[in-house]
Amino acid sequence: MAVLQVKPTRMELARLKKRLASSTRGHRLLKDKRDDMIKRFIQLAEKNIELRTRLEEKMKNIYTGFVMAGAYMDEAVLQEALMIPKNRVRCNITGVNIMGVDVPQYRIDYEGGHHQNSYPYGFAFTSQQLDESVNAVNEILPLMFELAETEKTVSLLAEEIEKTRRRVNALEYVQIPALHETVKSITMKLDENERSNLARLMKVKDMMISRRK
């Protein structure tokens, strides 16, 4: 491991020891943060799979319902029934902080009344299959927003986990070992200088004693 290019002084040694202690503490905190984020990521990933499975199953039933409605109804009547929507939907986006990561939260606002029983047509010339499919679309919308929110959260957490992993590795395999080696090298040089100074002092003392004799 490379030694940092610094002056081998006691002041520099004290500074490096403080930096080493700070890096070690930061490494431990980052590892804890990474582990907690991974746990949360796994939970959200499992939730995401469950939501997507539910959504795909509901979407398949909706598509089947519309196909059946098209078989029972005249195509022109079907298109006219669905031409003008009764409701408009707005998505309000707010934010929440999860493990230091800002993630979005989606809230649905319905314009023109509540989404329940808000068919854009009368029931005189429509089939039961169409009514059920339209109602299912209204019911599935919150699930779609929840899935989008979960997928975005999972994506942002994955990016933050990767950034934290790189920082942990940089501290663990580069910075902390380099600081250890530098502290060790400076300590050895200072000890060597002390021994040299002590040897010179002893030699001077012996010379002074010899002159007195």
The enclosing domain of 26 has a CATH number of: 1.10.287.3240
pLDDT digits (tens, 9 = 90+) for 89-143: 788 888 888 888 899 998 888 765 555 556 666 665 667 777 777 778 888 888 9
Whether residue 213 is contained in a domain is answered as no
DSSP, res 101: E
* pLDDT reported for residue 162: 95
Residue 211 lies in a domain: no
User: pLDDT higher for 171 or 4?
Assistant: 171
Q: Is the pLDDT of residue 165 over 70?
A: yes
Is 212 domain-assigned? no
Counting DSSP H helices and E strands in the chain, the numbers are 4, 2
Predicted TM-score (pTM) of this structure: 0.75
Is residue 187 in some structural domain?
A: yes
Is the torsion defined by CA of 134, 136, 141, 147 positive or negative? negative
Asked if residue 108 belongs to a domain, the reply is yes
pLDDT digit string (tens) for 51-79?
A: 999 999 999 988 888 788 777 777 776 67
- The whole-number pLDDT of residue 72 equals 73
Distance CA 14, CA 186 (A): 10
Determine the structural domain holding residue 107 and report its residue range: 10-206
Decide if 106 is inside a domain: yes
Phi, psi of 104 (to 5 degrees): -85, 155
Q: Which of 139-143, 169-173, 203-207 has the highest mean pLDDT?
A: 169-173
Tell me, rounded to whole angstroms, the distance of Cα 191 from its chain centroid: 47
pLDDT above 70: percentage of residues in the chain: 83
148, amino acid identity: A
Asked if residues 181 and 1 have their Cβ atoms less than 8 Å apart, the reply is yes
Q: Is residue 42 part of a domain?
A: yes
Q: Which of the 8 DSSP states describes residue 74? A: -
Task: List CB contacts of 2: < 8 A, sequence separation 6 or more.
Answer: 178, 181
Q: What is the mean pLDDT of residues 18-46?
A: 94
Q: How many domains does the chain fold into?
A: 1
pLDDT given for residue 141 in this prediction: 85
Residue 129 lies in a domain: yes
